[in-house]
């Protein structure tokens, strides 16, 4: 498909894939509001390639093949110019195959760091080396964490992330317990009662959205939060609210964005967000901010490259692509955006940044 073929009403059409159901559905209202802010900011300016941007939201909480089938049908209209959103890696892999490099696909979620992505897939989310792995070693330095337990959803991102952690450890046997459960899993009592969990200094939670909140409630209810830390790269303020303040003691999160004065544009962005959506809008969180950044990155790509043609974008990546985004200048290593990461401690239902990680 060519972005030089205009859609009937002369707009830039973007598919945003965000879960509306399942454990990831907890983020949908926040993502919708953040995407709306980005679209408004772009359209009040010069648009994209001189044209107004318009978004179509797709439910990314369905089985990957169902999401991919809908994307394929929409791409067949020749009126879609880009894909983005916050969704699982399993959905990304299916959608990338369906898209076959016809339009740029800006993936906004932290991921597993595979190197075989199809042309046109740009990874805006955090790479495990700069997020999960870095945060694990931060816990080792700051809290003396030596032995880990891992609980994850059973798909590609958690399993590959756990593998990256294991490969980074001087002693791979330091992971004393490792379990994977389906999305939407309800009862963690077997994991929490497992004798090997008593050997762990911390638990790495590689689950999504509401599953993290559910695990944290059960973890705190059995009293383990008093002696064992938890770390997640996949929790935002919505997760803290869903779990409840009493369930978040000793819970750390790694992310590239928190609403903190040390993060570029964070406070100003919140002011703009509240001005558009009001004081009772869904929380602007690290997950919803990722979708905001991705929509703006489409505009930055078009300004920098001069088109949204995948071959042009790939050529720009080969020659050192830099994008000017609301969070500052972003470079790429291959198809991976380079960014700083932070570790934050949960304080009730808010986050407090405690350190910066690379």
**Confidence (pLDDT) at 6:** 45
**Confidence (pLDDT) at 9:** 62
3-state secondary structure of 205: strand
**Confidence (pLDDT) at 107:** 96
Q: The sheet that has 229-232: what strands, in order across it?
A: 175-181, 148-153, 202-206, 229-232, 251-255, 341-347, 350-357
Whether 58 contacts 85, CB under 8 Å: yes
Position 246 pLDDT exceeds 90: yes
**Confidence (pLDDT) at 339:** 81
- The pLDDT-based confidence of 2 (bands split at 50, 70, 90) is very low
Which of 267, 275, 345, 19 minimizes the C-alpha distance to 153?
Answer: 19
Which uninterrupted H or E stretch holds 143? helix 132-143
- Pull the structure tokens for residue 164: 């990256």
Region 133-161: mean pLDDT is 96
Rounded distance between C-alpha atoms, residue 130 and residue 161, angstroms: 11
By CB neighbour count within 10 A (0-12 exposed, 13-18 middle, 19+ buried), where does 154 fall?
middle
Region 232-243: mean pLDDT is 94
Region 199-215: mean pLDDT is 96
More confident residue, 247 or 126: 247
Burial string for 173-205 (b: 16+ CB within 10 Å, else e) reads ebbbbbbbbebbbeebeebbeeeebeebbbbbb
Other beta carbons less than 10 A from residue 4's beta carbon: 9
- Pull the structure tokens for residue 123: 């990874």
Within 13 Å of residue 143, how many CA atoms lie on the same side as its CB? 22
3-state secondary structure of 58: strand
Region 224-251: mean pLDDT is 95
* pLDDT per residue as tens digits for the range 324-352: 988 888 899 999 998 888 999 999 999 99
Question: pTM score, two decimals?
Answer: 0.90
């Amino acid at each position: 498909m060519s972005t030089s073929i205009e859609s009937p009403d002369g707009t830039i059409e973007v598919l945003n894939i965000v879960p509306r159901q399942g454990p990831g559905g907890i983020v949908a209202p926040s993502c919708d509001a953040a995407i709306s802010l980005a679209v408004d900011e772009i359209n009040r300016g010069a648009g994209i390639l001189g044209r107004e941007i318009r978004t179509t939201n797709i439910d990314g909480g369905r089985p990957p093949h169902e999401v991919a089938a809908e994307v394929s049908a929409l791409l067949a209209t020749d009126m879609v110019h880009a894909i983005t959103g916050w969704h699982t890696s399993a959905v990304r892999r299916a959608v990338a195959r369906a898209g076959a490099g016809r339009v740029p696909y800006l993936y906004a979620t932290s991921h597993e760091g595979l190197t075989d992505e199809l042309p046109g897939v740009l990874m805006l989310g955090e790479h495990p080396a700069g997020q999960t792995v870095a945060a694990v070693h931060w816990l080792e330095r700051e809290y003396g964490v030596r032995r880990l337990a891992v609980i994850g959803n059973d798909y590609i991102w958690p399993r590959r992330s756990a593998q990256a952690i294991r490969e980074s450890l001087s002693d791979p046997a330091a992971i004393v317990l490792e379990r994977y459960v389906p999305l939407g899993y309800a009862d963690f009592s077997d994991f929490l009662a497992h004798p090997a969990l008593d050997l762990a200094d911390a638990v790495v939670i590689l689950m999504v959205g509401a599953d993290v909140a559910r695990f944290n409630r059960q973890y705190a209810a059995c009293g383990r939060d008093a002696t064992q830390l938890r770390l997640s790269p996949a929790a935002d303020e919505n997760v803290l609210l869903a779990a409840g303040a009493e369930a978040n003691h000793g819970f750390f999160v790694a992310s590239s964005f928190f609403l903190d004065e040390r993060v570029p544009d964070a406070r100003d962005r919140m002011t703009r967000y509240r001005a558009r959506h009001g004081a009772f809008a869904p929380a602007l969180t690290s997950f919803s901010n990722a979708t905001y950044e991705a929509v703006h990155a489409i505009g930055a790509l078009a300004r920098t490259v001069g088109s949204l043609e995948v071959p042009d974008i790939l050529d720009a990546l080969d020659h050192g692509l830099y994008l000017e985004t609301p969070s500052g200048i972003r470079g790429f290593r291959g198809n991976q955006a380079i960014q700083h990461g932070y570790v934050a401690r949960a304080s009730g239902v808010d986050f407090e940044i405690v350190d910066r990680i690379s």
